[in-house]
Amino acid sequence: MNLLKFIGTGVIVTAGLFAAEAQGVLSLEQCIQQALEANYSIKMVRNEEQIADNNANIAPFLPTLNADAQQTQRINQTKSKVDGTPIENSGVGSNALSAGVALDWRLFDGLSMFTTYEKYREMATIGELNTQMALENLVLTVSEAYYDVVIQHNKLEAVHHSLTLSKDRYNEALDKYVLGVLSGLEAQQAKIDLNADSSRYVKQQEVLKSAYISLNHILNIELNKVLYVRDSISLLDQLMLGELQESTLSSNTSLIIARKDQKISALDVKIARSALFPTLDFNSGYNYSRTQTPSASASLNRTNGFYWGFTMRVPLFDRLENNRKIRNARLTEENAEWSCKELELQVMADLAQLYNNYENNLHIVNFEIENAGIAYDNLDAALEKYKIGSLPGIEFREFQRSYIDAIDRKLAAIYQAKISELSLLLISGQMRVAE
């Protein structure tokens, strides 16, 4: 009865495993690490982060350097008159060759290049935050699946213990029937209850296997792997709403991303305004050209040399396109600001709702732990009375059923309280993941 007492009254729920069947024990931290390394969604979001980081480079500040070469050969027919004498030539050939290297460097563009670089840096930061948010959500998902396995293990043990009691009851009723102490009706009823508990045990095994499959899918490991969880569910000291609110406003990943989006919208306004300023480019290069025309008076022309210069372009009128882009960019910035405020309201409302559920779950946990303890004591007393024959089997069955129901409610309450706790840590930005 020690195991029964432990399950009925303990604040910590421990998953009991048959050591001979265990395939290597994994802690929650190990499962999270496995998911971080093998989960395909995380791999994809990390690639998106890398793309954003690749885009944030100094390319806009650097010049472009291009080399080109071209050769053109022609065969022409020519007709001309010299002092009234017609001259015709056919199959006249020419060969033109040109090559060069050109450097173009934009020196000033209304600070657009600096603003664009800053924008891409912000987008790279958003890529990191998106990865962080995906990791946080994955931790919650793994924890939910992991703790579900722990709960199902405990339910299986509770059902197994109930099955053991039903077997003992049936054997005792059968022995007493043979001795003529009890009627056959009691033995038949005990057999019915034994079969019912056997079916429930098989069903709980199925539920446990399904919980493992769900966890294995998240971890991207063999789906049929089972019996590698040996852990407990323990609740933290009660979280305080005021501290959670402060942490949420400063550390919630979604809010941080929204503020970054708002900053990017402000940078887009600067980029749009930069089109109103003149641009200054530096051009330099080296050209070489050679044209050979045997039939011409100058049969060979060749030029080569360096060149350099500056080009300034001042926008005077562009059909009001720049003004349109600036107005739209400002409206987008305004929408981003409102979107950020709306998200802040939504996140704080979600926090309040989650905390309300969390407090209620904590109260329910206390009630159900007490109920489970009382149900155990009642079952223990009923078992002693049944053994001495002062309690009918059908009444003992009610105590047995009451105990199983109390255990189920207690385990469900602890699981829901833990998930509420994790959800609060997630929304308040306290579920940080070390990669």
What are the structural domain ranges in the chain?
A: 2-65+108-281+320-427
pLDDT the model gives residue 375 = 92
Q: Helix %, strand %, coil % for the chain, to 5?
A: 65, 20, 15
Q: Looking at per-residue confidence, does 187 or 333 come out higher?
A: 333
Average pLDDT over residues 93-116: 91
Residues above pLDDT 70, as percent of the chain? 89
pLDDT at 243 over 70: yes
pLDDT at 82 over 80: no
pLDDT at 318 over 50: yes
Q: Tokens in use for 207?
A: 């539920």
Alpha carbon distance 7, 205 (integer Å) = 18
The identity of residue 350, as a single letter, is D
Start-to-end CA span in the chain (Å): 44
Average pLDDT over residues 118-136: 94
pLDDT the model gives residue 95 = 83
Mapped onto helix, strand or coil, the DSSP state of residue 129 is helix
pLDDT band at 91 (very low <50, low <70, confident <90, very high): low
pLDDT at 1 over 70: no
Alpha carbon distance 241, 122 (integer Å) = 31
Phi, psi of 174 (to 5 degrees): -65, -40
pLDDT at 331 over 70: yes
pLDDT tens per residue, range 29-63: 999 999 999 989 899 999 999 999 999 999 889 99
Alpha carbon distance 17, 223 (integer Å) = 19
Alpha carbon distance 65, 53 (integer Å) = 25
Query: Cβ(329)–Cβ(229) under 8 Å?
Result: no
Average pLDDT over residues 385-408: 88
Q: Tokens in use for 311?
A: 């080009």
Total length of the chain: 435
pLDDT at 19 over 70: no
Q: Write down the residue that tokens 């929204």 correspond to.
A: 258
Alpha carbon distance 122, 176 (integer Å) = 80
pLDDT band at 80 (very low <50, low <70, confident <90, very high): low
pLDDT band at 420 (very low <50, low <70, confident <90, very high): very high
pLDDT the model gives residue 295 = 57
Alpha carbon distance 198, 195 (integer Å) = 5
Contacts of 312 (CB under 8 A, 6+ apart): 278, 279, 280, 281
CA distances from 287 to 70, 103, 192, 309 (A): 12, 12, 101, 14
Q: Tokens in use for 87?
A: 């001259």
| pTM exceeds 0.85, yes or no | no
pLDDT at 286 over 80: yes
Q: Are strands 279-292 and 85-108 parallel, antiparallel or unpaired?
A: antiparallel
pLDDT tens per residue, range 158-208: 999 899 999 988 888 888 777 777 677 888 888 999 999 999 999 999 999
pLDDT the model gives residue 296 = 54
Alpha-carbon Rg of the chain, whole angstroms?
40
Helix or strand (DSSP H, E) at 89: strand 85-108
Phi, psi of 295 (to 5 degrees): -80, -10
Q: If you classify domain 2-65+108-281+320-427 with CATH, what class do you get? A: mainly alpha
The identity of residue 1, as a single letter, is M
The identity of residue 211, as a single letter, is A
Q: Looking at per-residue confidence, does 168 or 259 come out higher?
A: 259
Query: Cβ(30)–Cβ(230) under 8 Å?
Result: no
